[in-house]
Amino acid sequence: MKAILVTGGAGFIGGHFVRRWLAEEDGLLVNLDKLSYASSLQRLEVVADNPRYQFVHGDVCDGNLVYELVASHRVSAIVHLAAETHVDRSIDDPADFVRTNVEGTFQVLEAARRWWRGLNEPARSEFRVVQVSTDEVYGSIDSASGGQPDRATEDSPCAPNSPYAASKAAADHLARAYWRTYGLPVVITLGCNTYGPYQFPEKLVPLVILNALEGRPLPVYGDGQQIRDWLHVEDHCRALRAVFARGKPGQRYNIGAECQRTNLEVVRTITAIIDRLVPDLPHAPCGELVTFVADRPGHDRRYAMDTTKIRTELGWQPQVDFTQGMEQTVRWYLENRAWAEQVAAGKYDRQRLGLGPA
């Protein structure tokens, strides 16, 4: 049975990936996670006793630990999801983002290279490193004008505008360099805004859901017209699986639903769902809770990616409709408010989050 190493498997996307992998694949899955504020082992309670699952509390910046896990379990692949991802936090304190996203990726790549170069065929050819990144590395994509494309392709230049995006772009460049210089079989994915169950309450979708249920303001940056592509987490994980199984080393793959919505449209969609599902809220309609706040520095206006490559080459396409996926997500938070409140209370500044005192 082949083993894989997943970094950041207690995070939002990581938790979904781990659960799906163990349900559908054989072999051992080793999950390395330092359990930062946005991580939660509660996401993995369903697999905690699975004999094919091993959790290791540790930091990807610890290169010796990463190599020890790779070598001792003779892993056939690494899915590198561990990252600091919250843009506002990167603006407030970029040092953690440079450390985890750049130094951590370097250590993962070094451990992979040390192990991979000693392998014999066919294990050497079958080995993979999947570097999971973000559409934010492309920067803001203006609507088509003057012959310029209105969506970023895998060949578009990187133009990151936040410390978070810059740290992820640096990590991607390192991954590409390890492919070009050493031949390490690395594949890079660039995912769009992802939503779904178990997302940390700092992010837009769960923040709006929880605040709306409690009758608190729904903060919207600037005019709310920033455009993002929205993808359900299960579709994102299916895409990662497709890239893992069929992606070509040295290639980049955009992962997106091509479902562009303004931030304000997303908020209005959520509040309409809540008004319908919970009609007796004393502060209904929840849309009246929208509060426009000062825009954050360097806020990108629009993200948009061309996902032709992953659809045509790997046969992947999203399966979850935006409206249906958002309603499923709202229903999950309605049924799991205690989880979200516990995570927020123990890990994050509640006043900034807008959930009130603990």
Q: Active-site residue 164, yes or no? A: yes
The token pair that represents 136 in the structure block: 């934010």
- Considering the candidates 136, 234, 300, 306, report the single residue annotated as catalytic: 136
Give every strand in the sheet of 75-80, ordered side by side: 53-57, 29-33, 3-7, 75-80, 128-134, 186-191, 252-255
Angle at 97 between CA 6 and CA 79, to 5 degrees: 15
Q: Active-site residue 135, yes or no? A: yes
* φ, ψ dihedrals at 143, nearest 5°: -60, 155
- Considering the candidates 103, 135, 229, 235, report the single residue annotated as catalytic: 135
Pair 221, 39: CB distance under 8 Å: no
State how far the Cα of 36 lies from the Cα of 47, in Å rounded to an integer: 20
* φ, ψ dihedrals at 77, nearest 5°: -165, 155
- Considering the candidates 53, 164, 198, 333, report the single residue annotated as catalytic: 164
| C-alpha separations of 199 from 25, 144, 158 in Å | 24, 33, 27
Angle at 108 between CA 106 and CA 114, to 5 degrees: 100
State how far the Cα of 339 lies from the Cα of 43, in Å rounded to an integer: 10
Q: Active-site residue 327, yes or no? A: no
Residues labelled catalytic: 135-136, 164
